[in-house]
Amino acid sequence: MSDAFINFDKVSKAFGIMTVVDNLDLSIGKGEFVSMLGPSGSGKTTLLMMLAGFESPTSGAISVAGKRVDSLPPHKRNMGVVFQNYALFPHMTVAENVAFPLRMRGASRSEIVERVTKALDMVQLGAFQERKPIQLSGGQQQRVALARALVFEPEVVLMDEPLGALDKKLREQMQMDIRDLHHRLGLTIVFVTHDQTEALTMSDRIAIFNHGKIEQIGGPSEIYDRPRTQFVAEFIGETNLLSGKVTSSSNGLLNVTLEGSQPIKVASTATYEPGKHVKVSVRPERIELDAVGEGQNELKVRVTDIVYHGDHLQVEVNAGGRRLVVKANRKAVAPEIGQDIVASFSPEQCWIVT
């Protein structure tokens, strides 16, 4: 990441007695693509609204390129915004919609024509200039909104669930388009989504929100493969959580005895006192069935259910009274319900969450 470009310094926002953004610190580098992911009501939109200038913080400071922006009105912040409920103007044509931010900024007629054409070409809607929004599909409307956000060449683009209303195929197309624009124009993008796959595939970093705070922020693989807390592990992807007690630790390996006295090893750079209760997270796709390997954790399990997913099987097993979910590769021999088998995973593919 480059140096902090956008900076939130101890920013809080309260509506009445309810604090919805809570003493939040966040730095975003120039050209970075950062996604915000979190449950409904956790403060994502509020954060974006404060950055865009539609809400002001109750306390704390927001700066961009080293300058405080807290008291600047939205149109002085040079940020493009695409909000889900920030609809196109229905009475204006596509070209007029896209021209709007330029007219607000007092651009000349010739400049407007040139820039609108360029922006619409960029989202492949050059031929649609004279249409009204109602004559466009949902995805085309979203692309017009994107063109309108980009037409004045902002350095920062804020997007709040911009692809929420689109079907899967269109959504994937738009994800590629936005990623491409991000790279081509070197935009700094702050993106709110409910779709974890979208966050994982598009972002340089993902911030996981919980009750107005960032519970963890990091690159996609860091968030997915090494969630620090139970909340993050359960919020992004699926996970199995095993409760146990640390018995000893040496050389980056913890010995943990699971409830039911099954011992396993967990790779960990942190040290824990013997006797400490811990939760171990292991992703369904990290568990193998009936594959024996050196140094693996092995649990004797009974298959209780198998659900067909096309590209994989979701196998539910009972491990000493605990239900585990395993995402089984279709290349392996399919297990059968009632079968006793061994579920294994390596110490590196499970970790402690707090």
Ligand X SMILES: Nc1ncnc2c1ncn2[C@@H]1O[C@H](COP(=O)(O)OP(=O)(O)OP(=O)(O)O)[C@@H](O)[C@H]1O
By CB under 5 A, name the binding residues for Mg ion.
45
User: Is the Cβ of residue 158 or residue 328 nearer to ligand X in the bound state?
Assistant: 158
CA dist 91 → 135, 149, 161, 215 (Å):
11, 18, 24, 43
**Is residue 165 involved in binding ligand X (CB under 6 A)?**
no
**Is residue 40 involved in binding ligand X (CB under 6 A)?**
yes
User: Is the Cβ of residue 51 or residue 301 nearer to ligand X in the bound state?
Assistant: 51
Amino acid type, 232? V
40 interface partner picked from Mg ion, ligand X, none, CB below 5 to 8 A per type:
ligand X
Work out how close the CB of 38 gets to ligand X at its nearest, in angstroms, rounded to a whole number: 6
Q: How far apart are CA 354 and CA 188, in angstroms?
A: 32
Which secondary-structure segment (H or E) carries 257?
A: strand 253-258
**Is residue 35 involved in binding ligand X (CB under 6 A)?**
no
Whether the CB-CB separation of 258 and 215 falls below 8 Å is answered with no
Site for ligand X in 42-71 (CB under 6 A): 42-46
CA dist 43 → 20, 50, 146, 192, 210 (Å):
5, 11, 23, 11, 8
133 interface partner picked from Mg ion, ligand X, none, CB below 5 to 8 A per type:
none
Work out how close the CB of 46 gets to ligand X at its nearest, in angstroms, rounded to a whole number: 3
**Is residue 41 involved in binding ligand X (CB under 6 A)?**
yes
SS3 state at 10: strand
User: Is the Cβ of residue 28 or residue 352 nearer to ligand X in the bound state?
Assistant: 28
Q: In this structure, what token pair is assigned to residue 302?
A: 């009974």
User: Is the Cβ of residue 38 or residue 347 nearer to Mg ion in the bound state?
Assistant: 38
User: Is the Cβ of residue 43 or residue 347 nearer to Mg ion in the bound state?
Assistant: 43
Taking each helix axis from N to C end, the angle separating 94-104 and 138-150, rounded to the nearest 10 degrees, works out to 20
By CB under 6 A, name the binding residues for ligand X: 15, 20, 38, 40-46
